[in-house]
Structure 1
Amino acid sequence: MKLSMALNMASRTYKDAVASLNSLQSNYANIMAIRASGERKNQMNIWEMQEWSRRVGYSVSDYSKLNIIHITGTKGKGSTAAFAQSILQQYGSQIRKVGLYTSPHLKSVRERIRVDGAPISEEKFTKYFFEVWDRLEATRSPEDKFPHMVPGSKPGYFKYLTLLSFHVFMQEGCDSCIYEVGVGGEYDSTNIIEKPTACGVSLLGIDHTFMLGDTITEIAWNKGGIFKTGTKAFSITGQPSDGLRMLQERAEEKKTSLSVVPIFNELKNVKLGIAGDFQIKNASLSVALAHEHLSRLNILQEPLELSEDAKLPQKFIEGLQNTEWSGRCQTVKDGQITWYIDGAHTKESIEAASGWFKSVAVNSASKKILLFNQQTRNAGALIKYLHETLYPELKLSRVIFSTNVTWKSGDYSADLVSMNTSKDQVDKLEVQTALRDVWQGLEPNSDINVTSSIEAAREIIKNEKEPVDVFVTGSLHLVGGLLVVFDGTH
């Protein structure tokens, strides 16, 4: 029996793991049905994650060994997590291994689960993936408590990856981890963490309303759900007043404290590893989170003063300078083309991304091009915010609206397959055509292209006869697909 399982494991590949993972995606019809019903996440999500953990071999209390920083928010939570990871890596002599769990991924799903800054290898992803898969196959849940978790069923895509991340970090011996919330907080699958070392909330905004609510107060209630008794919570300065008020109420409810982190003056003269003026708030939040974490582990003894003039440890400065985070305010030079890449899917994030592009490109003599898609949100509203931010100081001579399909053949990169969108809608270029019409109303004289793939969009840009600055924004699936096209490997 053991030999048979060993042979089976040896025969399964990374491609098999990705295909199995993709089979756990909810299809488009199911997602639309949930949205139409008004059904929102509830406590069952947490109970299910606790039960899945038990079946894989863990008590939720086991995860406390990972010493987790837990981060939520609408804009900037991934950047904050990346900054915090880089800071903790500066303490490699006192921390054994740093784990990072984030979403979504850009090119490879392995990016979501990192150890010491690097995505886990294909070999380890495959090994750990099927260990979790096989343990779920071999175990059962009590029917009276979980009647819907029938034999052979698995968690959905994000829940499975969350479960896998815990397994990876436990097996790899990580003793400091950072978890970025997927959606919201209260009912997010990451919120089975019982004793985080610190909790953080980046900028709040309106997003995922069908799950979290239509107002900033409802959204803040969900985000504040990650707060835990005995764990300090931190938020950035400049939160919407109603949102901050709710976060404070949730901190009181959870019997903890919420501190608003100022922008540290010392960081104003530091070149952060992630570009964009707005990143200084995320960097400041990461400083507070990392300092609290290291204090809880007795690695740092001196308290951090939460004032603008606070003196920061040199290792913190070095960590912030060395942070790398692809697809976020990233610049790629390719001959006479300069790509400015930043995914954005909310009003706040599209304004921040557009403001960054304007600041770096407004004085450039190069032709300006926009490459955009946002398949599943109010894309028309987003490009209006984009236009308002750029104009009149910076005008675009060409605009390209593409799908998130990677290749001209109609194929997606295997790690980027998405069943969460309407194939018919994508095939008919419905979103892209609607975006073209919106942009024509804003700028009637613009050259506008609609393309069925990211590869085709890139070819149009490559055929430009003069230097160009290309602003790539909107969906992170577009950003990730473009980076795959840059690599040129199917």
Structure 2
Amino acid sequence: MQLHPKGFDLSLDRISGLLEKLGNPQDRMPPVIHVAGTNGKGSCAAYCRALLEAAGKSVHVHTSPHLVRWHERFRIGRKGEAGRLVEDEALADALRRVAAANDGAQITVFEILTAVMFVLFSEHPADAAIVEVGLGGRFDATNVITSPAASVIMPIGLDHQAYLGDRIELIAAEKAGIMKPGAPVVIGYQDSDLVRETLLETAERLDCPVSVYGQDFYAYEEHGRMVFQSVAGLMDLPLPGLHGRHQLANAATALAAVSAAGYEISQDEAERAMQTVTWPARMQRLPAGPFSALLPDGSELWLDGGHNPHAAAMIAETLAGMQDRAERPLFLIAGMINTKDATGYFHAFEGMVRHVFTVPVTDSDAGVDPEELAADAVAAGLSAQPMKSVEEVLRLLGEGWNRMEPPPRVLIGGSLYLAGEVLRENGTFPE
């Protein structure tokens, strides 16, 4: 981080030149499922991994950003067992070799780490690799993959407008940039017809076989189970292990993606995957720890790193669907960075949240001042006040709680940086 700038270089020239010096490891990868989208990329990657591992496959997984440790970006597949986060020695060695090949040339942190991913994944044998796009698609550093086993486009909304454009169809066109001629494409749930049309036009132009959510595959809840329907038939599965109704569509898209990539998943394997899938900081209920201990007995403490209006709408829908929602008061602890639509994020919780506490995001230079963020929440119709830290808020709620009321439900959200801080301070490290 001291050597290289943050941010993104939206071209492929530098990463391509660096990879050439490293012997083009991106061309020696296991079959790749390449995942783009505004929201749901990480969840899709988690489901794909769970499905393939349930089928006995070894799976590499690249995701970004990390929450607590850099290692989280690189999960190394292992034959006959679940993949594990890269070990220190292997990560340090790959970083040294990539830095030597770069030889001091100007490059971003993400480009360096993408090169590290290709080195690690090409040198460890595996049955599959799941590669999450960092930003956009067309000029993302991961988009040097020339022949993916499948390209997946998850839900698209407005985010990163400074890089990708301020119209939804422009953002969709950037995400569609991961499609490659003749390679299968899976399009997840899209709430915009314009987005869907843009994606389909690109796939048709590139002669890609396409599977579209709502047309070629679908999922719905019935009798407390998930029914997955596709051209191949029906699967009656447990509800996904990740919380929220939107996870039905995410899980369905992963099932379609794994199939499009050429892997067969049995009913038993899909059942096991739905029960074993994990993905931290996405509607994650925090277990016992220093933070939850500050709240009254029976309280619930939830964490979600979603940071744009589209994600906030999904989170709010999940909270609204909880059985005791009417009885249990809901509080929001929010921290955000200055590239996000804070007022749009808060609008999703109007009429649901009793009070918002805004806190600083200390792990980012771009953190919004809590006073300014509280004003954004008020502008969205919520009552809000700035606080110094998450711990201060939880202590305030715990010490001042009226025991005649049901214990509260508390959501910490608005930023993956904040989510990482909370996981670290609560001792709940991603594994």
TM-score, normalized by length of structure 2?
0.84
Q: Which has the larger radius of gyration?
A: 1
The 1:346/1:440 distance shift into structure 2, 3 A limit, reads closer
Deviations 1:80-112 (A, max 9, x none): 0110011111222xx3x3100011111112111
Q: Offset of 1:184 from its aligned partner?
A: 0.9
One-letter amino acid of the structure 1 residue matched with residue 174 of structure 2: N
Following the alignment from structure 1 to structure 2, what is the Cα–Cα distance between the partners of residues 361 and 431?
35
Deviations 1:323-360 (A, max 9, x none): 01010011124352311211212221111111212222
2:309 aligns with 347
- Aligned counterpart in structure 2 of residue 286 of structure 1, from 254, 259, 262: 254
Q: 2:161 aligned with 1:212, yes or no?
A: no
Q: Offset of 1:313 from its aligned partner?
A: 2.9
Q: 2:396 aligned with 1:460, yes or no?
A: yes
1:432 aligns with 370
1:55 aligns with 21
Following the alignment from structure 1 to structure 2, what is the Cα–Cα distance between the partners of residues 60 and 379?
35
Residue 24 of structure 1: SS of its match in structure 2? coil
Q: Aligned residue pairs: how many?
A: 396
1:267 aligns with 226
Contact 1:357 1:471 in 2 (8 A): no
Following the alignment from structure 2 to structure 1, what is the Cα–Cα distance between the partners of residues 201 and 379?
44
Deviations 1:262-297 (A, max 9, x none): 3235724522121111111010000011112234xx
Following the alignment from structure 1 to structure 2, what is the Cα–Cα distance between the partners of residues 244 and 103?
25
One-letter amino acid of the structure 2 residue matched with residue 256 of structure 1: C
Contact 1:22 1:157 in 2 (8 A): no
- Aligned counterpart in structure 1 of residue 70 of structure 2, from 77, 86, 109: 109
One-letter amino acid of the structure 2 residue matched with residue 320 of structure 1: M
One-letter amino acid of the structure 1 residue matched with residue 285 of structure 2: T
Q: 2:115 aligned with 1:163, yes or no?
A: yes
One-letter amino acid of the structure 2 residue matched with residue 91 of structure 1: A
1:478 aligns with 418
Q: 2:133 aligned with 1:181, yes or no?
A: yes
Contact 1:400 1:457 in 2 (8 A): yes
One-letter amino acid of the structure 1 residue matched with residue 239 of structure 2: K
1:321-400 alignment to 2 at 5 Å? 321-333=275-287, 334-335=292-293, 336=297, 337-360=299-322, 362-363=324-325, 365-388=327-350, 391=351, 394-396=352-354, 398-400=355-357
Residue 267 of structure 1: SS of its match in structure 2? strand
Following the alignment from structure 2 to structure 1, what is the Cα–Cα distance between the partners of residues 89 and 118?
17
Residue 191 of structure 1: SS of its match in structure 2? coil
One-letter amino acid of the structure 2 residue matched with residue 98 of structure 1: V
- Using the TM superposition, name which of 282-291 and 103-112 deviates more: 103-112
Deviations 1:425-446 (A, max 9, x none): x5xxx632122224345667x4
- Aligned counterpart in structure 2 of residue 403 of structure 1, from 354, 360, 370: 360
Residue 75 of structure 1: SS of its match in structure 2? coil
1:24 aligns with 4
Contact 1:154 1:160 in 2 (8 A): no
2:50 aligns with 86
2:387 aligns with 451
Q: Offset of 1:320 from its aligned partner?
A: 2.3
CA-based RMSD: 2.5
Following the alignment from structure 1 to structure 2, what is the Cα–Cα distance between the partners of residues 188 and 441?
35
Following the alignment from structure 1 to structure 2, what is the Cα–Cα distance between the partners of residues 366 and 185?
41
Following the alignment from structure 1 to structure 2, what is the Cα–Cα distance between the partners of residues 86 and 380?
33
Residue 286 of structure 2: SS of its match in structure 1? strand
Contact 2:5 2:107 in 1 (8 A): no
Contact 2:333 2:359 in 1 (8 A): yes
Following the alignment from structure 2 to structure 1, what is the Cα–Cα distance between the partners of residues 323 and 356?
16
Unaligned runs of 5+ in 2: 78-82, 228-236
Deviations 1:212-256 (A, max 9, x none): 111111111111111111211011244411111111111122221
1:60-75 alignment to 2 at 5 Å? 60-63=26-29, 66-75=30-39
Following the alignment from structure 1 to structure 2, what is the Cα–Cα distance between the partners of residues 276 and 282?
10
Following the alignment from structure 1 to structure 2, what is the Cα–Cα distance between the partners of residues 108 and 354?
28
- Aligned counterpart in structure 2 of residue 314 of structure 1, from 249, 268, 288: 268
Q: Offset of 1:458 from its aligned partner?
A: 4.2
The 1:83/1:376 distance shift into structure 2, 3 A limit, reads same
One-letter amino acid of the structure 2 residue matched with residue 332 of structure 1: L
Larger proportion of helix: 1
One-letter amino acid of the structure 2 residue matched with residue 103 of structure 1: S
Following the alignment from structure 1 to structure 2, what is the Cα–Cα distance between the partners of residues 294 and 257?
13
Residue 201 of structure 2: SS of its match in structure 1? helix
Unaligned runs of 5+ in 1: 1-20, 32-39, 138-151, 305-311, 406-416
Deviations 1:127-150 (A, max 9, x none): 22223223333xxxxxxxxxxxxx
Following the alignment from structure 1 to structure 2, what is the Cα–Cα distance between the partners of residues 488 and 382?
29
One-letter amino acid of the structure 2 residue matched with residue 404 of structure 1: V
Q: Offset of 1:375 from its aligned partner?
A: 1.4
The 1:90/1:294 distance shift into structure 2, 3 A limit, reads farther
Deviations 1:151-190 (A, max 9, x none): x125311111111111111222233100111111111111
Following the alignment from structure 1 to structure 2, what is the Cα–Cα distance between the partners of residues 454 and 131?
39
The 1:464/1:483 distance shift into structure 2, 3 A limit, reads farther
The 1:187/1:438 distance shift into structure 2, 3 A limit, reads closer
One-letter amino acid of the structure 1 residue matched with residue 148 of structure 2: P
Contact 1:373 1:432 in 2 (8 A): yes
Residue 318 of structure 1: SS of its match in structure 2? helix
Following the alignment from structure 1 to structure 2, what is the Cα–Cα distance between the partners of residues 22 and 457?
33
1:153 aligns with 105
Residue 371 of structure 1: SS of its match in structure 2? strand
One-letter amino acid of the structure 2 residue matched with residue 264 of structure 1: A
One-letter amino acid of the structure 1 residue matched with residue 4 of structure 2: L
Q: Offset of 1:314 from its aligned partner?
A: 2.1
**Amino-acid identity (%):** 23
Residue 487 of structure 1: SS of its match in structure 2? coil
